[in-house]
Structure 1
C-alpha cells in the first residue's frame, strides 16, 4: 500500500506543481487532478471508508490535500470547501507533527478541497515527490504582513457510556510580523472523536465537559 501510495502521489504532484492562484481565483484539487482511476495509472492504496481503514484505487490522496491544507492554514487564503474524517480517531499517535483534526477527506467528484484567493497577492503551489516524501511549498508574490500559528489546546481522552473519545480544540493565531502581537485568534476545530484502537495505555477521564461535547 505504501509503495502504491507513492506511485499515486508521483502521478498527481505534477498536475498541481507550479499552479498560480491569482486574486479572485479558486483552487480546486479535483479540477486539477481529474479521475484517479486505474485507467489513468493509479494503484490501489490506503483509504478511509465508513470510518475505518480500507483500500481503493487512488488511495493516498488525502495525504496530498493534508499537506496543501496545512500550508493554506498558514496563509491569507480563504478555505471554501474542506471535509474531514476526524469524527473517529483511527490510529494512535506516532511521531505526530501537526494537531489532530487538521486533516482532510476527499473523494473524486464528491468531496473536494478548495480555497479562494481573496487578497491582492498572487500565490503559487510547489509540490513534488522525492522518492520517499511528498514535499510542498506555498509562495507569494508579495510578503504577507502576518504569520499564523496552529496549535492544539485542552487535549484529553474521555470515556462516555463505555466509549473512549479524543477531545481538544485546534486554535489558529494570526500574528502581526512587525510587532509580534497576536491580532486574531479563532477555534478552527473542536474535536470529539471516537477512538478506534486499543486504549489500554491511555490516560482517560470518565466524562468530557459539556463544552467539548457541544
Structure 2
C-alpha cells in the first residue's frame, strides 16, 4: 500500500498559542495518569535476565551543521541521568512501561542541562534536550521483540539528511515531557528487562528476557516517497514494516508497524535519501 500524505504546509502559530497548547496537553496527560490507572512497570534489578532479546547502540556525538557541540556534550549528561532511572527495569506480563513516568520530569534541580531540542523544523536549546536519542533507541529495540508499542510519536519534520544513517527513516520515537510519551505493554507470558549504559562513545541498550524468544525480527522500510507539494515544500513518507522469522529462519509474518509523514527541511536533490540499506539485521 502507498502512504497517504497527512503532513501539510506548516502553520505558523503565535507564541501564546504554542504556550497554551503545550500547557493543555501537559495537564491532559497528568489527568490521564490520575484517572486511567494501569499496571505500571516500576521494579528494577541490577541482575540481568538470562537471555538477550535485542540490542543496539548509537553514537553520542554527531557532527551537525550549525549545532553547538556543547549542546551534545550536555546531552550526554542528560542521557546518563535518564538511563540511570531505567536501567534494570522489569516489565512483567500485563505491565505497561511509560518513558516519562519512569524517568520523571527533567529539571535543572535534578542535574539536567541544556541540550538540543528539535522545534518547528529547526532546533533550539532546552533543559533535558537530547533525550529523544534514548527513546529512539528503546523504540528501535522494541521492534525486535514481541512487546507491544501502545504509544509512539514521530517528528513531523525531517530536519537532518540521511548522512551515515543506519536505520530506516522514521524508525525512531520522539519525546517531549510529558505529552509525547513512549509506552509499551508486555502482552507475553515472560518478563522482559531493559538494560542501558553509556561508554565513552556510545549509548548502549538491551532488552533481556527470562526465556529465549520464539521469533526474531527484521525491520525495514517500504513505500518510500518524496513528493514536491504545490506550495513548494517536500513531504517524505514511508511505512516501517517488520518480518517475523522463526528460529530456523522461516517467514512467520510480515507486518506494518508505523507510517511516517514529515516535512523535509533540506533539499532532497542535494542529499539523496539513504534508501532501504538501513534495514535492520536480526538482533
- Structure 1 length-normalised TM: 0.88
1:79 aligns with 2:149: yes
* Counterpart position of 2:167: 98
Alignment of 1:47-66 (within 5 A): 47-66=117-136
Alignment RMSD (CA, Å): 1.7
Tell me: higher relative CO, structure 1 or 2? Use CA pairs within 8 A at least 6 residues apart: 2
After the TM superposition, list the runs of 4 or more consecutive aligned residues in structure 1 that deviate by more than 3 angstroms.
Answer: none
- The 2-side partners of 1:192 and 1:35 are apart by 28
SS at match of 2:78: helix
* Counterpart position of 1:198: 267
- The 1-side partners of 2:210 and 2:266 are apart by 45
Deviation at 1:193, TM superposition (A): 2.0
1:4 aligns with 2:74: yes
1:174 aligns with 2:244: yes
Which range moved further: 73-82 or 108-117? 108-117
- The 1-side partners of 2:80 and 2:178 are apart by 21
Task: Tell me how many residue pairs correspond in the alignment.
Answer: 202
Q: Structure 2 vs 1, CA of residues 109 and 156 (structure 1 numbering), >3 Å: closer, same or farther?
A: closer
Unaligned 5+ segments in structure 1 are 205-214
Q: Is the 8 A contact 2:159 2:266 kept in 1?
A: yes
- The 2-side partners of 1:20 and 1:143 are apart by 16
Deviation at 1:115, TM superposition (A): 0.4
Unaligned 5+ segments in structure 2 are 1-70, 274-283
- The 2-side partners of 1:84 and 1:203 are apart by 21
* Counterpart position of 1:147: 216
* Counterpart position of 1:15: 85
1:163 aligns with 2:233: yes
* Counterpart position of 1:114: 183
Q: Is the 8 A contact 1:157 1:203 kept in 2?
A: no
Q: Is the 8 A contact 1:52 1:90 kept in 2?
A: yes
Deviation at 1:28, TM superposition (A): 1.3
- The 1-side partners of 2:223 and 2:94 are apart by 37
Deviation at 1:108, TM superposition (A): 1.5
